């Protein structure tokens, strides 16, 4: 039997806050098969974002292992981690993290440019641009390509952030409270977009949220409590 696409085993992560130690993740273990849409529900401060940062190779665990498509991420060099983070993983954050000096299209193109040399971008930049425009049009942002983030609504910013996360066709999408900064109606629309792309591409999605209503239509729901995960379906 082949390894799960994502396999987390015995994960521990602590932080120091002055003289106090905060043990966030306590031996957490779970796996995600390729193509599954998994939602993790937890209260604020439960460690949801910490978990995504570890799986997304933005941080390192104190103990435990994370295997990405069979590869032990502890044994990866910095270059390997950067390469996987850029090419294989897409990130969607609660607060968008769009660059204010760039317009909508430029923000979406950014991951493609980061992953290319000047010569490579000259040869393939036009195709990446076409894909970016196609995604943005599907997001309902055809008339917002030249708008900067300050000129967009919250929902438009999040749709731009999702398009940016999808531009490199990552196999894994990590969504950190993607609806947490939106009203319920806009949040529901964002979830429909994620589900639609998941159904069309069979992309693996790991989403964390504090809102159980946002988990409808996902393949599996887990609850993060006391630094460990509990499954509900």
Residue 2: pLDDT above 70?
no
Residue 34 CA, distance from chain mean position: 15
Per-residue pLDDT averaged across 56-77, rounded?
A: 94
Domain spans in the chain, listed from the N-terminal domain onward: 100-168
Query: What letter would DSSP give residue 170?
Result: -
**Whether the Cβ atoms of residue 143 and residue 61 lie closer than 8 Å to each other:** no
Mean pLDDT of all residues in the chain?
90
Q: Which two tokens stand for residue 87?
A: 């090419």
Residue 60: pLDDT above 80?
yes
Which neighbouring-strand residues pair with 65? 9
Of the chain, the end-to-end C-alpha distance in Å amounts to 22
Residue with more model confidence, 125 or 100: 100
Residue with more model confidence, 86 or 150: 150
pLDDT, tens digit (0-9, with 9 covering 90-100), for 160-219: 999 999 999 999 999 999 988 888 888 888 899 899 989 888 899 999 999 888 898 899
Per-residue pLDDT averaged across 100-125, rounded?
A: 87
pLDDT of residue 59: 94
Percentage of the chain modeled with pLDDT above 90: 66
Residue 67: pLDDT above 50?
yes
């Amino acid at each position: 039997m082949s390894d799960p696409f994502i396999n987390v085993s015995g994960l521990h992560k602590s932080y120091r806050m002055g003289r106090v130690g905060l043990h966030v993740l306590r031996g957490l273990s779970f796996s995600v098969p390729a193509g599954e849409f998994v939602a993790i529900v937890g209260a604020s401060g439960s460690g949801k974002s910490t978990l995504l940062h570890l799986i997304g190779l933005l941080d390192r665990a104190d103990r435990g292992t994370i295997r990405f498509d069979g590869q032990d991420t502890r044994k990866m060099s910095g270059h390997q981690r950067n390469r996987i983070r850029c090419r294989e993983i897409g990130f969607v954050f609660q607060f968008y993290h769009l660059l204010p000096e760039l317009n909508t299209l430029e923000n979406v193109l950014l991951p493609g440019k980061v992953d290319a040399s000047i010569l490579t971008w000259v040869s393939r930049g036009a195709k990446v641009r076409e894909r970016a425009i196609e995604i943005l049009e599907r997001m309902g942002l055809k008339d917002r390509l030249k708008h900067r983030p300050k000129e967009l609504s919250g929902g438009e910013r999040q749709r731009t952030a999702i398009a940016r996360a999808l531009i490199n066709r990552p196999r894994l999408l990590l969504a950190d409270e993607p609806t947490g900064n939106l009203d319920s109606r806009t949040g529901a629309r964002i979830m429909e977009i994620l589900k639609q792309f998941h159904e069309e591409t069979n992309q693996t999605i790991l989403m964390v949220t504090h809102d159980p209503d946002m988990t409808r239509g996902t393949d599996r729901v887990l609850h993060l409590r006391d630094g460990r995960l509990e499954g509900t379906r």
